[in-house]
Amino acid sequence: MNENGRGFEIPKEVRSMAEAGFEQARRTFEKFLASAQETAGTLEERGATVRAGAKDIGARVMTYAEKNVQASLDYAQSLVHAKDLPEVMRLHGEFVQAQLRALAEQASEMGQVVSKAALDAAKPKT
């Protein structure tokens, strides 16, 4: 307990760092979603072959969104159970690193899916 008789409080600096990490991850993911949706919209205009690729892109975007939301919820739950400031800092670092890795993997996978869809759309009809 602190001098005010309340339990553990996260210092302003730590809270600011956590918020900055959340905001960075949120901005990165929003850019990723916008790009994927724009690409899917563009591809959908090219016909039946492309619709299949766009459908795959849409499904992947939803899967990524679900995974990222679940990771955020798991992180928030782990913070609730943190015993002290060092544990909060450790949890935050682990979360940010895991999210950055996940976003990089998702962007790479999405790039491959979009490239394949674009190549399929560009193939001459026989």
**pLDDT tens digits, 44-80:** 555 666 667 777 788 888 888 888 888 988 898 888 8
Contact 82, 88 (CB under 8 A): yes
pLDDT value at position 21? 73
Q: Distance between CA 59 and CA 52 in Å, rounded?
A: 11
Q: For residue range 81-111, what is the model confidence (pLDDT) as tens digits? A: 888 889 989 999 999 999 999 989 998 888 8
Q: Distance between CA 61 and CA 66 in Å, rounded?
A: 9
pLDDT value at position 102? 92
Higher pLDDT residue, 37 or 90? 90
Amino acid of residue 33:
L
Contact 72, 28 (CB under 8 A): no
